[in-house]
Amino acid sequence: MRGRPNLFTRYEADAGIFPSNTQRVWFVIGLLAVAALPIWLPRDWMILIATAFIASVGVIGLNLITGYAGQVSLGHAFFLGIGAYAGAALGGVATDRVTGLGLDILIWLPAAGLAAGLVGAIIAPVAVRLRGLYLAFLTLGLVFLGEHIFREWDSVTGGPGIGREPAELSLLGWRFDLDGTIGGFDVTREQQIYWLGLVVLIFMGFMAKNLVRSRIGRAFAAIRDRDIAAEVMGIDLTRYKVLAFAVSSFYAGVAGALLFTVTGFVNTASFNLLLSINYIAMVVIGGAASIAGSIMGAAFLTLLPRMIDAAGDVLPFLEVGSQGILSTSQLERVIFGVLIIAFLIFEPMGLYGIWIRIRNYWKAWPFSY
Amino acid sequence: MTSTLERSGAGASALGVNSIPALLRSIAREEPDRVALREKEFGIWQETTYGGYWDLVQAAAMAMWSLGVRPGDKVAIQSENRIAWVVSDIAAAAIQAASVGLYATNPAAEVEYLLWHSEAKVLIAEDQEQVDKALAVKDSLPNLTKIIYVEPRGVRSYNDPMLMSWEVFLGLGRAALEESPRRVDELVDGIDPNEVGTLVYTSGTTGPPKGAMLSHNNMTWVAESGRKLIAGDAVPESVQYLSYLPLCHVFGRLYDLAGALAMRATVNFAESIETVVSDLTEIQPTYFPAPPRIWEKMHAGVQIRMADASPIKKILYKIFLSTGMKNADRLLATGSRGLWGSLTHALGDVLVYRALKKKIGMQRCLQAVSGSAPIAPEVLKFFMALGVPIYEGWGMTETTAVGTVTTRDEIELGTIGKPIDDVEVELAEDGEMLVRSPGIFLGYFKNPEATAETIDSEGWMHTGDVAEWTERGFLRIVDRKKDIIITAGGKNISPSEIENKLKVSPFIKEAMVIGDRRKFLTALIGIEFDTVANWALRKNITFTTYRDLSEKPQVRELIQKAVDTANEHFARVETIKKFALIPKELDHEEGELTATQKIKRRVLTDQFSDLIEEMYA
């Protein structure tokens, strides 16, 4: 109710994404600020942040199945790969080596998601019978299976070491991947990709948010907390686990299809175990079972290398030329590992947990609880 | 009596209706879609509009009619506050019968007395617990014909012809309403405003409860006075109430039934007494009436949670509490905070007060009221410091809840203010306060002797409170006439004043001062379990039960300190020389407290006579 943010007369309001108008206003202001950033940002930063946007979509997908539904999946790289190649095959340009239909983004982007989602749904019934470590191993197997398929199916993937170009960012004839002018303003390729990534993230983010605050989301959480108890409450385990896999894979497919359009090149070796682990790390560092946390985690880990680079000028032990102990990429990996350990021990709810703590400090004011 | 009746006619005309049911009907016709009631169900506040409210009342009224309730009969209600309560009450009044409220905590023996004495024909019982009480005593109640239960859980399997569910009851009423759709309207139009509209049993710290007969006029007058008192002429468009004060008590009835209708407010029913704190933060009521006990508890709650807060928060709170207290003093002395005071208050509001008020549910409170017992000035000042405007009012069941009040501009701590419009107050020779107003009740039901003792031939109501006028023309209650202690030295002492000073400490829940015909004063003190437990935890004192905690020497020391602090305010003869800690929490169902949580002195004196004698040994 107006002026009484905690008085709910409808469930819709109780479960609303924004509890009050104040939050709605702040969200829009924040969004406008993020959308306005490319006007000043240097090009390389734009690309980096656009990558973070798209990675966020993938992390949200992994968070849906791992964070919300509690099914540990190491196979996210496999689904990202399916999305990437499905997108490339449908939206890419055909050459003498690889196929490509050159379709519109309106077709290939959902199709890439659907392809990954379909594979997810096919595999899910097997996964439904397994829990915990066994499920982790099964999904791990998918990654190796995928790596093999991607290497061998060169009419689609271009083959190992050669690769192919990803899908073209062409919407109803408009090319996002070329510089152009909108309403008299010159816009660069990077700016357009940035905005495209932002729009996709907002759309997919809200879809996920709506999913998790609905009956389906509550069923996921119930399964995560105790699957037997969930079943007793009348939740169809098979159905919801399959759904979790399919939706998660759909998100991975969409993210995968877009991810490599930013760099303009897809390599078969990209979709390895390390990529899966990277995504798990983003979930853990960002915060399990949180959409906002997924975005924080993706942004943090995507921007981390760049920040370490920037810190390289200051830190004396970093390698400059042949001097120093560590190279920046070595340091990056060390920090990466330390971060995962530190977050698991000290802040299992991730960056989102830190945010919640800061928020609660002010929310409880002037009390402490 | 005659003058009373004449003036009550004038009071009623301000609302332009003859009774509360007629008032509800007029609102339902003018604004049928305005939200009247909210009740929390499965986590959501479900709304009932004024139109729906009146429909429910009509159905319930016709159902009562079908069950044989006729003008002059009584309908008893034993329930916590809920929609069925207010609906039944207004429905009974609508068919010219009268409601009788029973506390949900009333044990079976009291239920038997109240139902027998009031000659109730129908009982609205909330749930299995209340149904069980009624069934246990029904054989001695020849008048009782039907028991309506609101919560079917546990009662479904009962096979007693007297039982009927609330839904069936309403269905019966709706069917009857279809047959004679004008009957309720006609009955409401025919209400004689000077007839009994409701029967309110006083909780009675001495003797069996007496049934005060309140007329329709009393209720409409109090509705209008209540509105004028707390809102003036500027009633906001949306007024939120939180209904948690027992509706069987006249204080609760004044706000949640009569006053709310006069302001066209939305009444939100608290889920239960345990959830009042969280309900408060959700509802953030526009007007909030509470007995001192609730204010004391809120005050103690803030202190405890602040003690656990982080250092920066603590420091800020300390700074702004002390400036707030200074501001409150200035406000009391001069009626305004002054320029510097307004500045510090504005700063404090941003940094501390606003957030604090939101936490305790007072953020949107335009006017708070304390009544039903004297409140400690320190507690009152605390809320003034936060910027919660708080009246202290005095009233009795027999004066239909209102009488005198301190207002925003006219405050003198420790007094009950000045008489409100239409109320005359005089002091008798022995200091007893006499009141005459349109709110004076009709008399005690079936008890003309007590009525004659209370209302004299000139219409003055003898309150039983001893009071005095202060220099500024405020009334100060000394004590209940019969509670005043005369020590062996012949000194008159008011125990409640000392008790209230003791209860300022967040660690003291109950206090009873003893000393009648004794050489010095002593006190029985009951600790506030929550706060003392919290304190003990922080001091690493382990304990098991209430009794165990009470008996800890450290706790005794803690209470001794509180007693010493309270003693500083009094002359030597009025100080507490010794005290004993009560080994159990006092309870209504065990007869130690009245339903309104007032101590029954005689019961306590008997029950803890060994503790008392020990102090004088």
Number of inter-chain CB pairs under 8 A, A vs B:
52
Q: Do A6 and B38 touch (CB under 8 A)?
A: no
pLDDT of residue B173: 97
* A166 touches A88 (CB < 8 A): yes
Mean pLDDT taken over chain B: 90
pLDDT of residue B8: 37
> Is residue B240 classed as helix, strand or coil in its secondary structure?
strand
- Domain assignment present for residue A154? The answer is yes
Contact residues, chain A to chain B, C-beta under 8 Å: 3-4, 6-11, 14, 361, 365-369
Distance CA(B304)–CA(B289), nearest Å, equals: 23
ipTM above 0.95, yes or no: no
Cis peptide before A366 (omega within 30 of 0): yes
CB-closest option in A3, A10, A361 to B364? A3
DSSP state letters, A146-211? HHHHHHH-HHHH--TTT-B-----EETTEETTS-EEETTEEE-HHHHHHHHHHHHHHHHHHHHHHH
In this structure, of A195-204, B5-14, B55-64, B557-566, the range with the lowest mean pLDDT score is B5-14
Task: Identify all chain A residues contacting B47, using CB atoms and an 8 Å cutoff.
Answer: 9
- Domain assignment present for residue A4? The answer is no
Distance CA(B38)–CA(A9), nearest Å, equals: 9
Residue range B19-191+237-284, CATH number: 3.40.50.12780
pLDDT of residue B273: 81
**pLDDT tens-digit series, residues B382-412:** 999 999 988 888 988 898 888 898 877 777 8
- Domain assignment present for residue A12? The answer is no
CB-closest option in B282, B306, B364 to A367? B306
H helix or E strand, kind and range, residue A354? helix A350-363
Query: Which residues span the domain enclosing A335?
Result: 17-363
Distance CA(A68)–CA(A251), nearest Å, equals: 14
Q: Do B309 and A367 touch (CB under 8 A)?
A: yes
Residue B53's pLDDT band (boundaries 50, 70, 90)?
very high
How large a percentage of chain B has pLDDT more than 90?
Answer: 65
B192: left (phi over 0), alpha (psi -120 to 50) or beta: beta
Could you tell me the strand order of the sheet in which B35-41 lies?
B44-49, B35-41, B266-269, B240-243
- Domain assignment present for residue A109? The answer is yes
> Looking at the 3D structure of chain A, how many domains does it have?
1
Distance CA(A305)–CA(A318), nearest Å, equals: 13
Distance CA(B415)–CA(B475), nearest Å, equals: 6
Q: Least CA distance to A10: which residue of chain B? A: B44
- Whether B19-191+237-284 and B289-363+366-481 share one fold: the answer is yes
Task: Identify all chain B residues contacting A361, using CB atoms and an 8 Å cutoff.
Answer: 310
pLDDT of residue B333: 83
Task: Identify all chain A residues contacting B301, using CB atoms and an 8 Å cutoff.
Answer: none
Distance CA(B192)–CA(A54), nearest Å, equals: 76
Q: Do A369 and B317 touch (CB under 8 A)?
A: no
Helix/strand/coil (H/E/C) assignment for every residue in B283-320:
HCCCEEEECHHHHHHHHHHHHHHHHCCCHHHHHHHHHH
Task: Indicate the CATH number of B484-616 among 3.20.20.70, 3.30.70.260, 3.40.50.150, 3.30.300.30.
Answer: 3.30.300.30
- Domain assignment present for residue A201? The answer is yes
Question: Pick from B400, B440, B24, B27: which is nearest to B191 by CA?
Answer: B24
Residue B372 has pLDDT above 90, yes or no: no
pLDDT of residue B6: 37
CB-closest option in A4, A366, A369 to B284? A4
Residue B440 has pLDDT above 50, yes or no: yes
Residue B10 has pLDDT above 60, yes or no: no
Q: What is the DSSP letter of B352?
A: I
We report the CATH number of the domain holding residue A123 as 1.10.3470
Task: Identify all chain B residues contacting A363, using CB atoms and an 8 Å cutoff.
Answer: none
- Residue-level pLDDT, tens digit, chain A, 369 residues: 777 888 888 888 888 888 788 889 999 999 999 999 998 888 889 999 999 999 999 999 999 999 999 999 999 999 999 999 999 999 888 887 888 888 888 999 999 999 999 999 999 988 888 888 899 999 999 999 999 999 889 888 888 777 788 887 878 877 877 787 777 788 888 888 999 999 999 999 999 999 999 999 999 999 999 989 999 999 999 999 999 999 999 999 999 999 988 878 888 888 989 999 999 999 999 999 899 999 999 999 999 888 887 776 776 666 655 566 777 778 888 888 898 899 889 888 888 888 888 988 998 888 988
Q: Least CA distance to A6: which residue of chain B? A: B282
pLDDT of residue A320: 57
CA B163 to chain centre: 31
Task: Identify all chain A residues contacting B309, using CB atoms and an 8 Å cutoff.
Answer: 366-368
Q: Do A366 and B355 touch (CB under 8 A)?
A: yes
H helix or E strand, kind and range, residue A232? helix A227-232
pLDDT of residue B205: 64
Q: Do B282 and A7 touch (CB under 8 A)?
A: yes
B588 CB burial (10 A radius; 0-12, 13-18, 19+)? buried
pLDDT of residue A359: 87
- Domain assignment present for residue A181? The answer is yes
* A185 touches A193 (CB < 8 A): no
Distance CA(A351)–CA(B519), nearest Å, equals: 68
List chain B domain ranges. 19-191+237-284, 289-363+366-481, 484-616
Distance CA(B129)–CA(A293), nearest Å, equals: 48
CATH superfamily, domain at B289-363+366-481: ANL, N-terminal domain (3.40.50.12780)
